[in-house]
Structure 1
Amino acid sequence: MGLKRAIRSQYSWLEGYKTSIFADDLLAATVVSILLVPQCLAYAFLAGLPPQLGIYASIFPLVAYVLFGSSNYLNVGPTAVISLMTAACIATLPAETRVVSAGALALLTGGLLMIAGVLKAGFVMNFVSRPVVSAYITGAALLIIFSQAKHILGLQVDSRTAFGMVAELIRQVPQSKPLAVLTGFIAIMLFVLVRRMLPFLLVKSGFRAKTAKLLARMAPILIIAAFVGLSTLLKFGETYGLSIVGSVPAGLPPVSFPGLTLVGYEELLIPAVVIAIVAFVDSTSTAQELAARKRGRVDPNRELLGLGAANAVAGMTGGYPINGSMSRSAVNFTAGGKTPLVGLMVAGFMALTALFLTPALKNLPLSVLSALIIVACLNLLDFRSIWRTWTYSRADGITALATFFSVIILGVQWGVLAGVVLAMVLHIRVSLTPHMPLVGRFPGTEHYRDADRFNVETDETVKTLRIDEGLYYANARFLEDRVAEVVSENSDMTDLVLMCSGVNHIDASALSSLEEINRRLKGLEIKLHLSDMQSAVRERMYRSDFLDKLNGRVFLSQHDAMTALQPEPDWAQFSDHIDIH
């Protein structure tokens, strides 16, 4: 029954499928395919691989994702960031092994993702913060732009870091090829103008805003076609020595297991782990954003399986690592795609491209492909997000900046790991010394706030220490030190209340610390009390004998504690004279 329910849930979109929905899906698939054709060539080129591998990675992997993934809108395939990461992984390998190594890298990435999916490890995404993802993508996009500048200038640059690339480009600028510069900059201008101005002009001409936006998305394929035609007519490659794509083999991708040695697979394992993390986080973020717009949701564990299956299939059909494309998924959503059938139709269109259209791509200038990559990456730059993060939280800002500069200086392989590790270290550091203020009551109310920040009532004999963090082995000693500090500074104290409204967990080490605090306070004739404990925490504490040994009481609320513990005022000091004036 469980299997049937899972299958029914996976393919629930087939129920009630109508001709009108098919028409919407077909339109979306057509637009996405038109966008994908130049992109898959450009991203394979970015990865340092033959252009046909980009086409191969856009056929059967899409089918695999539809079978196992959970998003109705996500379009998987070659992307800029994963392509750059692939290039960094295989750049140092012998040229004759790079294609098979790229396939092995995709297979390893897919295997890791599927294992994580089977283990229901979708929660891993929670450890990668949005500032890390945003800063990583910005750094990678900037690195991609630097890496493609050499093709715009017609130069040969071998450095893999941003500073090295810039230094080599500056040194070689006098040797730039005029035709490469001309075609590259014209292509950049056309791609930018089409993206920014064409929708406005079409709307002014009477088109609907949605139609105008879709037509603008399709325009790059016309620019590509124009440059191919111009290059063929004027023989840019033969006569002027301009670098072109060259012959692209026609036919469907070969199906084979990447024949790499065991040592070769071991060398690719760590890069595969990094690519798997980036691919999963990036893809799932996009899928969740689009699903939320339709009041839907995606299952992270099924996304692991879907993305893993897509990568594994890519590795066995001549491709390289892939993930969900933010731009193409957004186009699918905007174009009116309703179901995963869009992915199947895109795969069909790409198969037709592989069979019949590849000869037409032979004379496409590489400078134009680089222009397409650069313009795509300009939209990924988000320095404003890094600045907002910095102004809001210094810790998150440091994490974002560290991620960004790690990508720029060390390369894309280590950027996301640096960000994740630093984010976790800073979080642990904060949790080591949680906020534990003394609190008092707002006069005439039952509200208790930080005594250092607000003008509140306090008592010299009854002190309340509010704990704003879960208690575990790493911060249990800090609690002991904080209590000792409060005791030393308040010689008249007879009762200490630990206000536990922010405590959602107490582990065994923290429980031992509470027992030690209770023992020390008992020796000082100070009673220890607890208030505002969450039910789950209190129920767990009943499994121990701590509450039996507690020399004070457990109060339902902080106000109950203060009402019971505060001594009655000395009414004798007040006169019984009534002033009627």
Structure 2
Amino acid sequence: MSGVVQTALTRQFGWLSGYNGRQFSSDVVAAIVVTILLVPQSLAYALLAGLPPKVGIYASITPLVAYALLGSSRQLNVGPTAVISLMTAATIADLPDETRIVGAAALAFIVGMMLIGAGLLKAGFLMNFVSRPVVSAYITGAAFLIIVSQLRHIVGVEGGGRTALSMIQSLSQQFGQISAITMVVGGAALSLFFLARNSIAYRLVKAGVSSRRAKMLSRMAPIFIIAVFIIASWAGDLEQIGLAVVGDVPGGLPPFALPWVEQSLMQSLLVPAAVIAIVAFVDSTSTAQELAARKRESINANRELFGLGAANIAAGWSSGYAVNGSMSRSAVNASAGGETPLSSIIVAALMALTAMFLTPLLRPLPLAVLAALIIIACLSLLDFRSIWRTWVYSRLDGLTAVATFLAVLLLGVQYGVLVGVVLAMALHIRTTVNPHMPLVGRFPGTEHYRDADRFVVETSDRVKTLRIDESLYYANARTLEDRVAGIVSKHEDLTDLILMCTAVNRIDASALNSLETINNRLRASGIKLHFSDMQSRVRERLFRSSFLDRLTGRIFLSQHEAMEALEPEPDWSFLDDHIDIH
């Protein structure tokens, strides 16, 4: 047992072996840069989640430590993110104001327990059931919805609604209540953040600054922009003329307690928690895999479940809300030189110092500035090009992506991913229920066999070959029976039918029964049933049954061997003395 524990600890904390001063200095620098980005983001995403700003800071301390200890990625930075914040807002929107904070913490705690449970069941493979087009379309839809939701803070109205249409309708109805000072501040913040993201690095490089340093300065620019707006708001006392500000942010470390809520509320949070857990796991693991690929490292999906689960339990225990891996902060951490999970622990320590000593400085920060920060961050999440590429490549996958995007906008962020996953699986099942099963023939003079409807190939009237381009299971077994019956009815001279099983990876019990039925029907018609190109694993499973004892034909190693045995080339040698072909 001690050996197992030691192996697990070595695998988890192997980065400590050989850890040196150079790595420590790199982690410290990366942590400082990430913290500069995280402080305003934590406030902004808490605002997006419909929670007080302090909750965003609370969600940026203990979850980072928990993931660093249990997660498998060395560069992933967890914490509040735009998509999970929006999903949290949609979940707690109907709760009374006095229960929203504890409700959000309870939601995070349930998400964590679900992820830990999935980790214990080694359910990391479930990520494979959520297709990349669904994830891309979902994130694009959520980002678009977030941008629309933040427009109310830019123009200074109450707004409302959970879907894109209801939000736009609410904004149009309150058009006459727009605050001029809020629009000026919001518009200026949008312009400055946009320039910081798109122009500052380029201008610095042209001025002679190194590319690496220019990128760092451009990423740190938002904190300076926010500082300017805080000073301007405080000096001009803009709150007195109608500008909404963050207000008092209580200082100190987060209170640590389990988020106890009524049983009825706990039950109502189960379904949203499951959806958040799926999105958090898929999004975080995709980001972690992308970062690991750059370093030629690997990610363990089951350990990611434990790491994210522990991070969310820590968030709920420390009065935060649901978290996941952040693409933007993780990329900044990697590019700033972060090499080990220690950088996340240092970020947590710096955020704790912020919570204890710097929160009074945040009071005059305009909400419009935080909304502008959220909008600019979400612009990078919009990926309509990916949806278009998916549509061009595959209409079915494109339909899934478009449906997911529209579901987020029209039904709300909670249902978008469910619509995408269910539709993707339904279309997949539809495809496997009606697999492509063409008759094939041989390219003249070769051993290659292709679809007879698409290529000019040699075919035989007596021997027909049906290629099955899908595994055989209960849902498509009857389709195979019908296809074989159709072939028999159209070819009166048929004496042998070959099932070419190149793409058949599995034959389940229902499909085996269908093969028994096909074999018996063909025997009654005087036709033999054969197999070719069957994978050894599938053939070995067939040997466990008595089907091969009753098979009227044979199992051939290759399609060409089958055709040579059943339809050999004519022997023209007897004509050598009679025909001279020039």
Structure-2-length-normalised TM-score: 0.98
How does 1:17-166 map onto structure 2 within 5 Å? 17-166=19-168
| DSSP-derived class of the 1:338 partner | coil
Partner of 1:460: 461
| DSSP-derived class of the 1:530 partner | strand
Question: How many residue pairs were aligned?
Answer: 580
**Offset from partner CA, 1:24-69 (integer Å, 9 cap, x none):** 1111111111000000000000000000000000001100001110
How far apart are the structure 2 equivalents of 1:106 and 1:464? 57
Q: Give yes or no for contact 2:59–2:323 (8 Å, CA) kept in 1.
A: yes
Partner of 2:497: 496
Structure 1 residue 215: Cα displacement = 1.0
Partner of 1:233: 235
| DSSP-derived class of the 2:269 partner | helix
Partner of 1:398: 399
Structure 1 residue 263: Cα displacement = 1.2
How far apart are the structure 2 equivalents of 1:520 and 1:347? 71
Structure 1 residue 262: Cα displacement = 1.2
How far apart are the structure 1 equivalents of 2:413 and 2:468? 40
How does 1:469-488 map onto structure 2 within 5 Å? 469-488=470-489
Give, as a single letter, the amino acid of the residue that structure 1 aligns with 2:461. Answer: E
How far apart are the structure 2 equivalents of 1:356 and 1:537? 66
Q: Could you list the runs of 5+ residues in structure 1 that have no partner in the other structure?
A: none
Partner of 2:416: 415
Determine if the alignment matches structure 1 residue 533 to structure 2 residue 522: no
How far apart are the structure 2 equivalents of 1:574 and 1:171? 93
Give, as a single letter, the amino acid of the residue that structure 1 aligns with 2:562. Answer: A
Partner of 2:264: 263
How far apart are the structure 2 equivalents of 1:156 and 1:314? 29
Structure 1 residue 15: Cα displacement = 0.2
**Offset from partner CA, 1:82-101 (integer Å, 9 cap, x none):** 00000000011111110000
2:183 to 174, 181, 184: 181
Structure 1 residue 546: Cα displacement = 0.8
**Offset from partner CA, 1:165-185 (integer Å, 9 cap, x none):** 112212322321001000001
1:14 to 13, 16, 25: 16
Partner of 1:170: 172
How does 1:510-529 map onto structure 2 within 5 Å? 510-529=511-530
How does 1:356-375 map onto structure 2 within 5 Å? 356-375=357-376
How far apart are the structure 2 equivalents of 1:502 and 1:406? 35
How far apart are the structure 2 equivalents of 1:500 and 1:281? 34
Q: Give yes or no for contact 2:439–2:465 (8 Å, CA) kept in 1.
A: yes
- Identity, % of aligned pairs? 64
Structure 1 residue 573: Cα displacement = 10
Structure 1 residue 214: Cα displacement = 1.2
Distance change >3 Å, CA 568–CA 191, structure 1 → 2: closer
Give, as a single letter, the amino acid of the residue that structure 2 aligns with 1:103. Answer: A
Structure 1 residue 241: Cα displacement = 1.7
| DSSP-derived class of the 2:470 partner | coil
How far apart are the structure 2 equivalents of 1:4 and 1:467? 49
Give, as a single letter, the amino acid of the residue that structure 2 aligns with 1:359. Answer: P
**Offset from partner CA, 1:533-563 (integer Å, 9 cap, x none):** 1011111111001111100000001111001
| DSSP-derived class of the 1:463 partner | strand
Q: Could you list the runs of 5+ residues in structure 2 that have no partner in the other structure?
A: none
Structure 1 residue 211: Cα displacement = 1.4
Give, as a single letter, the amino acid of the residue that structure 2 aligns with 1:291. Answer: A
Give, as a single letter, the amino acid of the residue that structure 1 aligns with 2:247. Answer: G
How far apart are the structure 2 equivalents of 1:574 and 1:387? 62
How far apart are the structure 2 equivalents of 1:290 and 1:366? 33
Partner of 1:343: 344
How far apart are the structure 2 equivalents of 1:272 and 1:407? 17
Partner of 1:190: 192
How far apart are the structure 1 equivalents of 2:55 and 2:74? 25
Structure 1 residue 107: Cα displacement = 0.3
Give, as a single letter, the amino acid of the residue that structure 2 aligns with 1:211. Answer: R
How far apart are the structure 2 equivalents of 1:2 and 1:489? 64
How far apart are the structure 1 equivalents of 2:418 and 2:428? 15
Structure 1 residue 383: Cα displacement = 0.7
Partner of 1:220: 222
Partner of 2:449: 448
| DSSP-derived class of the 1:297 partner | coil
Partner of 1:244: 245
Structure 1 residue 568: Cα displacement = 4.7
Structure-1-length-normalised TM-score: 0.98
Partner of 2:327: 326
How far apart are the structure 1 equivalents of 2:569 and 2:409? 66
Structure 1 residue 508: Cα displacement = 0.3
